[in-house]
Amino acid sequence: MPLKPAVSAKDHLQGDPAAGIELVEYGDYQCSHCGHAYPIIKEVQQVLGDRLKFVFRNFPLAEIHPDARLAAVAAEAANRQGQFWEMHDILFENQQNLHFSHLVEYATRLGLDIDQFKADMNDQDLMEIVESDFESGVRSGVNGTPTFFVNGHKYSGNWEAAPFISFLKSQLR
């Protein structure tokens, strides 16, 4: 199933926008499988370097992960202060501690303006960004997390480091 919509300037992107491999992850900050994938993605990024652009889209499974949506909003709030990826990393490294007080603690650790962060946590626009990511995942056939798309197509293979890196290298454009 193809990725809908395609990656755009609205997405959170790491790496070279013109890279030969585009990897999109739909993830949930409270999902243990996403937590397992987090260091694998870091390794993939390290091995592939500027040949990879990595995009993260929010797919909080709120019914089974009650803190996931708030954590996604926290990442979007940090994005407003230019620190999406830093918050993204802290959230995955602290998956068991995603209550509001922890999110404020992480924002403090990142040196964010806390009053602005708290205000943004209640901003309907950020909640809509998270919901828009979720809806795009549904349209793209995502039904669990993590779900990966490689060069616009859903990937259903093994995402452990060695086989995933091997597959991604085979997909270089």
- Going across the sheet that includes 153-155, the strands are 12-15, 52-58, 21-27, 147-150, 153-155
Report pLDDT for 98: 98
CA dihedral (87, 89, 95, 97) positive or negative: negative
d(CA 19, CA 81): 26
The CA radius of gyration of the chain, in Å to the nearest whole number, is 15
Q: Which domains does the chain have, with CATH numbers?
A: 12-170 (3.40.30.10)
- pLDDT given at position 164: 97
- Confidence at residue 172, expressed as pLDDT on a 0 to 100 scale: 84
Residue type, 141: G
What mean pLDDT comes out for the span 76-97? 98
What is the per-residue pLDDT across 93-148, written as a single tens digit (0 to 9) for each?
999 999 999 999 999 999 999 999 999 999 999 999 999 999 999 999 999 999 99
- pLDDT tens digit string along 55-70? 999 999 999 999 999 9
**Cβ distance 33 to 146 under 8 Å?**
yes
Closest among 123, 134, 129, 173 to 153, alpha carbons compared: 173
Q: How far is CA 16 from the centre of its chain?
A: 17
Rounded CA separation 39/110 (Å): 20
According to the model, what pLDDT value does residue 173 have? 65
What pLDDT score was predicted for residue 88? 98
Which among 77, 54, 66 is positioned nearest to 150, based on CA atoms? 54
Cα atoms found within 13 Å of the Cα of residue 43, Cβ hemisphere only: 13
CA distance 85 to 125: 19
Q: Under DSSP, is residue 113 helix (H, G, I), strand (E, B) or coil?
A: coil
